[in-house]
Each structure stands twice: as C-alpha cells, then as structure tokens.
Structure 1
Amino acid sequence: MAVVSTEQSSPRESSAEQAGTEPTAAEQALDTQAGTAEEPPKRASGKLLGLLGGVAVVALAIDILTKVAVVANLEGKPPVELFGGLLYLDVLRNPGAAFSLATGMTWLLALLATAVVGVIIWLAPKLRSLGWAVGLGLVLGGACGNLVDRFFRAPGPLQGHVVDFLSVFAPGGAVWPVFNVADSCIVCGGILVVLMSLLGRDYDGTVHRKKKAAQS
C-alpha cells in the first residue's frame, strides 16, 4: 500500500528540487529575514517597564512608611538631632511644592503632579534606556508619594498638606528647606534624567553622538 505524504513544500523548495539544485545564498538570506522580521523586540522594554514600576513602588512605600512613622511619633515634639547635627527630624505640614515652594497653590500643584504621573505612564511602554527607567521611576514614586498627601491629608482632597520632616544642618529649615523622601526621589530622578539627556541618550534608546568638528 502506498503512503501519501501530507507534508507540503514551499514553491521555492519545489523549484529547487525540480531543478536538482540547492537554494541560492540570496534565497536563504530572504528566508532568514522573513523568519526574524516578525519577532517583536519587546523583551528589553518589558524588563525596563518592570524596573520603572519596581523603583516607583519602593520609593512610594518608603515615603509613606516614613511619613506615617514621624507623624505618629514626632509631630508636635521637639526636633530630633541625628548624626551630630547634620540632620534633624522636624515634622512640618507643607501646603506648597517641594522644599516649601509655592505654598499658596496647593490645588494647582496637585493637578500638576497628576499630569506628571500621566506623562510618565504614557512614556513607560516606549522606554529602551536603563537610566531613564530608573530616573522616571524615582520621579513617579516621589510624585505619587506627595499626591497621597494632597488627596488624603487635611484639610481635604487637592488641599492636603504634605508631611515634611528632614532638615539638614539645623531644625526648622533654617539652612535648607525641610523636605521628605518623595522630594529626594523627585530631585534624584530628575538629575538622572537630565544627565542621560546631556549624554545624548533618549528614553527610547536613541543615542545622539556629537559630531567631531572637521579639521582644517
């Protein structure tokens, strides 16, 4: 009994077999390109997206936990000196932006922070840069940390005062404005993003190399 094969060969293979020759190098190259062109280069972006989210979650968690701890234990009490006076824990309620700026625009600051979070979320799937992922993760975590205060602390939604408690060199912000972990994350993340830009590295992985001046 004859066995009928169900395997089908491609037209290129059939023509090669009929001609009794192997596929040419050009045909093999076309086959290779066709096999690899459909592979989506998303593995790296997935890892970077996870890194951004992980950095943001850690920053947010540390900010919330430290604020809860200082409010519960230090609010209304004298400042606590640390590291021989290099740092003081001094709890203040800040209606303004980071480092006590724009104290009369609480609701606007809350809306701006919300817009920043939205922009970072929009950029996140397009990330192809490790430095940008870490930087934006820090900014995202810090912005969300202060937004939690804006929405859930007194005197009310979009009017909430941010808890600041870190004062360097002197209590009460005498030397430097009192800040919190979220402020530090925003500043560090912003510096990292600016540094990446100065190095010619975009968030999508594009590297801009400076052109050397033509020698006369």
Structure 2
Amino acid sequence: MRLVFWVGFWTFLLDQATKYLVVHWMNLRTLHEIDVLPPFLNLRMAWNYGINFGLLGDPSGITRWVLIAVALGVAGGVLWWVRRDPPGAAGYAAAGLMVGGALGNVVDRLLYGAVADFLNMSCCGFENPYAFNVADIAVFAGAMGLIFFTGHKNAPKNAP
C-alpha cells in the first residue's frame, strides 16, 4: 500500500504542478492557446465541467459536486479493492495512478469549478478538438494497469 501512496502522491503533485505552470505561470487561461510543437503538441485551455469530452457538462454546480463525489468514490473503491486483494507492485502502481489522477481532478473542481485541461495533440492531417491533462493520462493508465495487473491469482490454473 505504500507504493499506492507514493505513486498517487507524485501523480497528484505532477498534475497540479503542470496545471499551475500552464494555467497561471504561462497564463494559458488568458492566452487560450500556445503552440509548442504544432501540430503534434499544443496547449489549448479548456475548462471541462463534465466527464470525458465534456459529456454531462453543466457549469451550474450540481454536476460539479456529483462528479467530485464519484471521483472520491472511485478513489476509495480502488483503495479498498487493492487492500482487500493485493495485486503486486504493478497493480499497486496502477492504483496509485488512478487515485492520484482522480484526486488531481477533484482539486480542480474544488478550486475552479471545472477541470483544467490543456494538452492537445494532433497528427497526420487529423486535428484533435479535445484537450486533456496529466490526471486524465494517469487515470487512463491506472485503469489499464488495473485491468492487466490484477485478478490473475484467482484464475483457474488449468483453463484452456
């Protein structure tokens, strides 16, 4: 569980540090866009009031608190799961990524009322209209890690 804590801590810290750097220090909230390595990597300010791709977005407030509760519930559920059924180092690291990323987005919703998304990547003639952040990457990677690195010890040994 110590690995879950440290991976979650550093994930959360990296997420919040990059958001502070880009949104405040580089002033992306006012500039709205900064080309870094066009078209591959750009910074595009997007306030996400909903879930993935802005779905269920509602700046009025109730969605904000529901999504905070859901993120905290997911983080708590992941912690409960890995405590109850220890997955090994890779599974613990994946759990830490999910928890750290989820808490990073919770802090955004508490501070700004929305999640600060700013990374935009396009390639090969396709212009991606969406932005994401370090927490989103961590949650996705953590979820994939939990799928691939947990639950194997309960599988039947003679399965075809």
Q: 1:122 to 1:109 in 2, by over 3 A?
A: same
Q: How far, CA to CA, are the matches of 1:94 and 1:212 in structure 2?
A: 44
Q: Deviations over 1:32-54 (max 9, x none)?
A: xxxxxxxxxxxxxxxxx111111
Q: How far, CA to CA, are the matches of 1:138 and 1:63 in structure 2?
A: 11
Structure 1 range deviating more: 105-114 or 54-63: 105-114
Which protein has greater RCO, CA pairs closer than 8 Å, 6+ apart?
2
Which of 77, 84, 89 pairs up with 1:130? 89
1:57 aligns with 2:5: no
Q: 1:208 to 1:81 in 2, by over 3 A?
A: same
Unaligned runs of 5+ in 2: none
1:208 aligns with 2:160: no
Q: Residue in 1 aligned with 2:98? A: 139
Q: 1:210 to 1:164 in 2, by over 3 A?
A: same
SS at match of 1:91: strand
Q: How far, CA to CA, are the matches of 1:84 and 1:90 in structure 2?
A: 12
TM-score, structure 2 as length reference: 0.83
Structure 1 range deviating more: 135-144 or 66-75: 66-75
Unaligned runs of 5+ in 1: 1-48, 154-159
1:99 aligns with 2:46: no
2:79–2:95 CA contact under 8 A, matched in 1 = no
Kindly provide the amino acid, as one letter, of the partner of residue 102 in structure 1: L
TM-score, structure 1 as length reference: 0.63
1:66 aligns with 2:38: no
Q: Residue in 1 aligned with 2:39? A: 85
Give the aligned length.
150
Structure 1 or 2, whichever has the larger Rg, is 1
Q: How far, CA to CA, are the matches of 2:129 and 2:32 in structure 1?
A: 18
Identity, % of aligned pairs?
29
Q: How large is the RMSD of aligned CA atoms in angstroms? A: 2.0
1:87–1:167 CA contact under 8 A, matched in 2 = yes
